[in-house]
Amino acid sequence: MVQPIIEFKNVAKQYDDNIVLKSVDLEIEAGKFYTLLGPSGSGKTTILRLIAGFLEVTSGDILFEGQRINDLPPEKRRVNTVFQNYALFPNMNVFDNVAFGMSIKGKKKSDIKAKVAEMLTLVKLKGYEDREISELSGGQQQRVAIARALANDPEVLLLDEPLSALDYKLRKDMQHELREIQKRLGITFIFVTHDQEEALAMSDWIFVTNEGEIVQNGTPVDIYDAPINHFVADFIGESNILSGVMRQDYLVSFAGKEFENVDGGMRPNELVEVVLRPEDLDLVSVDDGKLVVTIDYQSFRGDYYEITAHDDDQNDWKIQATNPSVIGERRGLFFDPEDIHIMRLDESEEDFDARMEEYEDSEEDV
């Protein structure tokens, strides 16, 4: 196993009695693009600031290449941060902003000049050396902030919601460019966002945070296709989440019917939640459907119609369809067994046993 560049071992952070991180374990491998993804207040920035050394842990250890760095000051850590508000020096021009870290370290003028030129080329701002910060657009300021952070040759670049101030188009372009820069330099990026689309598009690996914990981590495809619980299924992408019961392995009941599925390993009679993504659903004739739904609403989304419908069990469904529908019409709903994703509920053994006993009694009564 490769030695992680950064490790958290049971890291907790608390302000008075406010616990903002609960015993977080994580491993970051060198040379990859990681994203911390979660809602506001879930602890993403706290994790980043702990890595940077701007905050101290309440308990647990942070390791860098296997060495404990809990007490190492920020300037001695081989990491740099790009902040959400860029934090550029407004009274200095572009060159001096990018050169700042190297100047205070007393590097040779010729080396500084060469490095600034290299970094400005990397972020596509060659020729902007003499510009004042106030003369730059938001997107250009963002590039200067990235160049400044990279000029110090960090092994890990921390990016705290760096694209949140940019408009949609620019944001998309910058997502692509950041990914390219990371690949070209081959260093580790840890990117914070609450935008799931951005996380899916950019990352090699995602840590999903909620209420001070990492609730799931994996590749974007893992997390999208196999969310671990209701929170992740709901937060990442659009989902239909229904209550279900396992009848046996590979047979699940929801919306008043039984369906074959491919997620094994569940106990018979285990209560579960079932996830079906809108793009995995098709509207067909009533006879060909696995369920029958009534169309309630539709909105045109450019490349598809988002359709809302309900089944005869009164479950609401979101469906992505290529063709428009007629409101009030009854249609068949079709999906493949492999697109049904089953999630365990956190039911304790005791609760499960009690429910099973009740169930068996009721079976005997029949």
- With residue 205 as reference, give the H or E element that holds it: strand 205-210
**Beta strands 33-37 and 188-193: pairing type?**
parallel
- Take residue 288 and report the two structure tokens written for it: 């060909």
Pseudo-torsion of CA 122, 219, 336, 279, nearest 10°?
Answer: -40
Q: Which is nearer to ligand ATP, 45 or 216 (CB)?
A: 45
Q: Is 7 within 8 Å of 47 (Cβ atoms)?
A: no
Long-range CB pairs of 17-20, under 8 A, 24+ apart, other chains included: 19/212, 20/46, 20/212
Residue for token digits 């989902």? 239
Q: Which is nearer to ligand ATP, 14 or 93 (CB)?
A: 14
CA distance 347 to 336: 28
**Which phi and psi angles does 319 have, rounded to 5°?**
-130, 135
Minimum gap (Å) between residue 194 Cβ and ligand ATP: 5
Minimum gap (Å) between residue 73 Cβ and ligand ATP: 19
Q: Is 107 helix (H, G, I), strand (E, B) or coil?
A: coil
Cα–Cα distances (Å) from 16 to 8, 19, 22, 65, 70, in that order, read 22, 8, 14, 31, 20
Q: Which residues contact 115 (CB under 8 A, 6 or more apart)?
A: 99, 102, 107, 151
Q: Is 276 within 8 Å of 297 (Cβ atoms)?
A: no
- Take residue 141 and report the two structure tokens written for it: 């300021």
Minimum gap (Å) between residue 44 Cβ and ligand ATP: 4
- Give residues in contact with ligand ATP (CB under 6 A): 15, 18, 20, 38, 40-46, 194
Q: Which is nearer to ligand ATP, 18 or 110 (CB)?
A: 18
CA distance 291 to 282: 11
Minimum gap (Å) between residue 231 Cβ and ligand ATP: 14
Minimum gap (Å) between residue 69 Cβ and ligand ATP: 19
Q: Which is nearer to ligand ATP, 25 or 135 (CB)?
A: 25
Q: Which is nearer to ligand ATP, 162 or 244 (CB)?
A: 162
Q: Which is nearer to ligand ATP, 12 or 226 (CB)?
A: 12
Minimum gap (Å) between residue 174 Cβ and ligand ATP: 18
Residue 11, Cβ density class (10 Å: 0-12 exposed, 13-18 middle, ≥19 buried): buried
Q: Which is nearer to ligand ATP, 36 or 99 (CB)?
A: 36
Q: Which of 122, 128, 165 is nearest to 147 (CA)?
A: 122
Minimum gap (Å) between residue 218 Cβ and ligand ATP: 19
Minimum gap (Å) between residue 217 Cβ and ligand ATP: 15
Q: Which is nearer to ligand ATP, 19 or 185 (CB)?
A: 19
Q: Which is nearer to ligand ATP, 42 or 240 (CB)?
A: 42
Q: Which is nearer to ligand ATP, 42 or 325 (CB)?
A: 42
DSSP 28-81: E-TT-EEEEE--TTSSHHHHHHHHHTSS--SEEEEEETTEE-TT--GGGSSEEE
Minimum gap (Å) between residue 320 Cβ and ligand ATP: 28
Q: Is 121 within 8 Å of 185 (Cβ atoms)?
A: no
Minimum gap (Å) between residue 270 Cβ and ligand ATP: 32
